[in-house]
């Protein structure tokens, strides 16, 4: 019992559950962070509730980088599930889960979105840098700009997740039917869903598909891969860091924060503001499994609130 390690615990849980690589990482990372705090030699059976409580205090301290409440709850939830597995299967000699009821209330903040003016300013910046690359004949800070413009417009018009874009293959884009497939591997709920290709997005994806064919990208290979189109990038496949690096540079140029997820929030929020909004359509477009998640995008206009208050007088 005493020799059962955290690595054994992870392997035991993974052998019981059919998990994607992404899901396995979501369990491995919280365990790694917890072990870093309590010590690599500590065994699961030796973990006390005080250990978890001290880790929580550390995470919310300046030394622990003032971890977000939602991040702590994520770490706590994954560790709790692993310990429950160990207790239920008698893998460790403890009767109480040290991570049980250790989550904290997470404040519900407004989803961070981008205004239409901010989106237009970003487009103007991209257009400017694209012209600079064209006339100067050398890479700009946003190189290759034409590729990142396609990434930008894809996130804006589809609201797909970053992982879904990274996992996209040529066969996931049907220009004839004007349908884009958002893969289940990149979704939180492991559900595949389809997104219509709008008239505004169509020429960008057509450009990408033609360019991919020219550089020899085959079926089954990563479609959104900056390394195949760039004279500067040298990795085999595009990862999240490269996408985030582009958005960091664009954010610095424009003077406000942008990210793929803000485009997702922006799309959902804007659609829910429409007079003829349809919850089920927005739910399907964003790939939500629960309509309560879609309802989080409903925001009451402050003008409507003011009218309601003034109407009481």
Contacts 24+ apart (CB under 8 A), 223-231: 223/168, 223/169, 223/170, 223/172, 223/173, 224/150, 224/151, 224/154, 224/165, 224/166, 224/168, 226/144, 226/147, 226/148, 229/144, 229/147, 230/139, 230/143, 230/144, 230/147, 231/139, 231/143, 231/144
Residue 261 annotated in active site:
yes
- Catalytic residue, candidates 193, 264, 265, 283: 264
Active-site residue identified among 75, 129, 247, 297: 297
The catalytic position among 42, 169, 188, 233 is 188
Nearest CA to 91 out of 206, 1, 178 is that of: 1
Residues β-bridged to residue 241: none
Active site residue 264: yes
Is 188 in the active site? Answer: yes
Told to judge if 27 belongs to the known catalytic residues of this protein, a careful annotator would answer no
Phi-psi region of 146 (alpha: psi -120 to 50; beta: other; left: phi over 0): alpha
Which residue among the candidates 42, 111, 249, 261 is catalytic per the annotation? 261
Catalytic residue list contains 312 = no
161 tagged catalytic = yes
Active-site residue (options: 161, 193, 228, 262): 161
- Which residues are identified as catalytic? 161, 188, 261, 264, 288, 297
């Amino acid at each position: 019992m005493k020799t059962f390690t955290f690595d054994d615990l992870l392997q035991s849980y993974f052998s019981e559950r059919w998990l994607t690589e992404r899901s396995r990482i979501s369990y491995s990372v919280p365990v790694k962070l917890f072990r870093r705090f309590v010590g690599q030699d500590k065994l699961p059976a030796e973990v006390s509730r005080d250990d978890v409580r001290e880790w929580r205090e550390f995470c919310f301290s300046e030394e622990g980088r003032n971890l977000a409440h939602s991040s702590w709850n994520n770490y706590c939830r994954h560790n709790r599930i692993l310990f429950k597995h160990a207790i239920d299967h008698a893998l460790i000699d403890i009767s109480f889960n040290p991570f049980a009821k250790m989550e904290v209330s997470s404040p519900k903040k407004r989803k961070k979105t981008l205004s239409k003016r901010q989106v237009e300013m970003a487009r103007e910046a991209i257009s400017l840098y694209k012209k600079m690359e064209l006339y100067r004949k050398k890479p700009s800070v946003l190189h290759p700009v034409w590729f990142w413009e396609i990434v930008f417009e894809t996130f804006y018009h589809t609201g797909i997740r970053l992982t879904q874009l990274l996992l996209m293959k040529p066969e996931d884009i049907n220009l004839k039917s004007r349908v884009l497939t958002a893969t289940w591997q990149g979704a939180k709920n492991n559900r595949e869903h389809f997104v219509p290709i709008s008239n505004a997005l169509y020429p960008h994806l057509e450009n990408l598909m033609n360019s991919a064919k020219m550089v020899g990208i085959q079926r089954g290979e990563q479609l959104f891969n900056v390394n195949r189109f760039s004279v500067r990038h040298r990795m085999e496949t595009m990862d999240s860091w490269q996408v985030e690096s582009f958005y960091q540079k664009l954010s610095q140029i424009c003077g406000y924060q942008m990210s793929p997820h803000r485009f997702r929030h922006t799309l959902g929020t804007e659609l829910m503001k429409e007079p003829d909004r349809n919850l089920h359509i927005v739910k399907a477009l964003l790939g939500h499994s629960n309509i309560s998640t879609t309802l989080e995008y409903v925001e009451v206009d402050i003008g409507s609130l003011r009218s309601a208050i003034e109407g009481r007088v």
